[in-house]
Structure 1
Amino acid sequence: MTRWGILGTGWIAGAMTADLQLHGHTVTAVGSRADDSAARFAAAHGIPRSHGSYEALVADPEVDVVYIATPHPQHAPNALLALAAGKHVLVEKPFTMNGAEAESIAAAARATGLVALEAMWTRWLPHMRRLHEIIADGTIGEVRTVIAHHAQRASADPAGRLLNPALGGGALLDMGVYPVSFAWDVLGEPTAVQALSTPTATGVDRQTSILLGHAGGAQSVLTCGLDGRGSNGAVVVGTEARIELAPFFFSPTVLRVLDPEDRELERFEATVTGRGMQYQAEAMERLIAVGGEDPRMPLAQTVAIMGTLDEIRTRIALHY
């Protein structure tokens, strides 16, 4: 039995906890920066132990793995705190604020023999497994283009997290990490990076468009934004057919394979209970049990993806 501790008490922490409990995983403790918020979260989710500090949570002997669900700038220090206490870590996306922080977590995990995994839950969803099977069997031919879009209508409050540069706000790190990771997943490491962005009054990016070049001349066309909800779909274009994921390519969705005449060759839609975050928990527990890295989300790739986000930030002059 792997015992989970939840570090943070925001919305994403609640969603992950609900999926863990729904699917039989054991959540033994929650930690917050204040006793009352930890106690409220524990009561709401039926968690037996609550801690009024992150230090107390990672020191809890009834916790084996810590799910890091704090704002972006706290991911690295929180993960390093847990690793130093001998706990495995599942770290919410974006994994860190930059590549250097990501490498520091990877180095600590290697040094301690513990598992550090990015909570890019999309990688383990059933439709993504099917997508890779379809590409591997040659149904769509050679992949030429990946198109992915993630835009939401966020709060316009300048003090809110998404507009606050001190909290790692902006479209790129919150929304753009999904299409960038998707492009990496399908086409691998980019060989060229171009980007165009529009800033908010607070200095973070309001919307960003990204063009990635990949080996063999393939390209990724990616967009993200935070002041208008988009289609949030994705397309993988091959020489013989294309794969469409809609709506919301990053969550459980419908996969369709269409030939050049738009005839449907396949339609795939898995039945997923809960939100679908349980698949990353299962991957984490497998790694804890057997060691190694998960080929769906290797730690080295997580570090490299943060490097790609760093390059995009350089291109659009986004500084934190």
Structure 2
Amino acid sequence: MMTDSIQSQPESTTGVTDTARPLNVAILGAGRIAQTMAKTLTMMADSPTYSAMVTPYAIASRSQDKADKFAATYHLPHAYGSYEAMLADPAVDLVYIATPHSLHAEQAIACMRAGKPVLVEKAFAANLEQARAVIDESDKTGLYCGEAIWTRYMPSRAVIDRIIDSGRIGAVTGINANLCYPMTHKARLTDPNLAGGALLDVGIYPLTFIDMVMGAQEIDHLATSMQPYPTGVDAQSTTTLYYADTTMATALSSMLCVSDRGGMVYGTEGYLVCHNVNNVSAVDIYNTDHARVDHIDMPEQLTGYEYEVAASVQAIRAGKRDTIEMPHADTLRMMALLDQIRDEWGLVFPFEHQD
């Protein structure tokens, strides 16, 4: 009988030894985000920039029929009707985990124990305890384990950093970011057993936008509130972070409504308007008179996922367990923040209850 979980394979420290060839990438899970990754891998394989990095190799689902249809649609040569079958394939070099948050930790650990490096979709895990267990396994096996939060890897991040570092908007004192989509029609988002809710799915992006601007600066305290969905998960929320340097940053997320997805960085000499914190398309710079003094469009991309894949391949080839863009320390810091916010709300997922 096939289940959501993966039975542990024998521990292995095997990894990619031939760094000259493209890595065979397998996708674990066949939902919507897996489809976007499959499209990305296909486009990368056809791109002069990325073709030497990856080969779209396999899909693993709990259903052989679903896996076969997925493989046919995206021209993947291998389709597995169980996760265990995919892990038994010695040709798999990297597994992209595209299942609900609540399954990430168990599946990532099983992959690494089978000798497979992993790129784990955000949120990396359901909570900090799970995230630590995954990274501990990366420590034990020496295998790469990355978090696939795409905005960390995009060129827009470096563009925003350069503007702030240049002093064009002066000293940063405030940040505001939001991301909201009507998504209650998706069953996993309203299901507390799958770590549903807006926070882990879309709320992580405004918080990540703030974190990328502020870096590892310690948060002095926070204030947060949320409106629950009838199932008990968070439907929408707002969180304000207070930093020791007096910077205030506010994040808004919702799965009930549409928002402008804006990211604002306020400074003593001007401010930035970043269009779409979930995939910044352009940045406008304004001066103290609210006059726009510059407009910067982001480079054309395949889907936006190619950056996290390329960074993962480079890390694996270099024998590293994480990337510069999303080191394990940043993953743990963000998971701790998400836990702290849920603690303030009193929101506990059913699988987190202690006997």
TM-score range, shorter chain: over 0.9
> In 2, are the aligned partners of 1:193 and 1:311 still within 8 Å (CA)?
no
Size of the aligned set, in residue pairs, is 317
The offset of 1:257, in angstroms, is 1.1
2:277 counterpart residue number? 249
Which deviates more from structure 2 when the two are superposed, residues 267-276 or residues 32-41? 267-276
1:97 counterpart residue number? 126
User: C-alpha offsets along residues 108-160 of structure 1, whole Å, 9 cap, x if unaligned?
Assistant: 11111111111010112122210011112222211111110011111347xx1
Identity of aligned residues (%): 35
The offset of 1:164, in angstroms, is 1.1
The offset of 1:38, in angstroms, is 1.0
> In 1, are the aligned partners of 2:282 and 2:297 still within 8 Å (CA)?
yes
User: C-alpha offsets along residues 77-126 of structure 1, whole Å, 9 cap, x if unaligned?
Assistant: 11011111111110001000000100111111111111111101011212
> In 1, are the aligned partners of 2:209 and 2:277 still within 8 Å (CA)?
no
Mapped pair 1:289 → 2:310: no
2:245 counterpart residue number? 216
Mapped pair 1:263 → 2:291: yes
Structure 1: stretches of 5+ with no match in the other structure: none
Q: Give 2:162's match in structure 1, choosing from 133, 153, 174.
A: 133
Mapped pair 1:278 → 2:299: no
Aligned to 1:216, what secondary structure does the other structure show? coil
1:173 counterpart residue number? 200
Q: Runs ≥4 in structure 1, deviation > 4 angstroms?
A: none
Mapped pair 1:17 → 2:38: yes
User: C-alpha offsets along residues 40-83 of structure 1, whole Å, 9 cap, x if unaligned?
Assistant: 11111000011111111122111101000001111111101111
Distance in 2 between the 1:296 and 1:140 partners?
24
> In 2, are the aligned partners of 1:245 and 1:255 still within 8 Å (CA)?
yes
Distance in 2 between the 1:225 and 1:48 partners?
39
Bigger radius of gyration, 1 or 2? Answer: 2
2:259 counterpart residue number? 230
Which deviates more from structure 2 when the two are superposed, residues 187-196 or residues 203-212? 187-196
Distance in 1 between the 2:41 and 2:161 partners?
26
What's the TM-score once normalised by structure 2's chain length? 0.87
Which deviates more from structure 2 when the two are superposed, residues 306-315 or residues 173-182? 173-182
Matches within 5 A, 1:76-115: 76-115=105-144
What's the TM-score once normalised by structure 1's chain length? 0.96
Distance in 2 between the 1:257 and 1:295 partners?
27
Q: Structure 2 counterpart of 1:162, which letter?
A: L
> In 2, are the aligned partners of 1:191 and 1:213 still within 8 Å (CA)?
yes
Distance in 2 between the 1:108 and 1:102 partners?
10
> In 2, are the aligned partners of 1:63 and 1:87 still within 8 Å (CA)?
yes
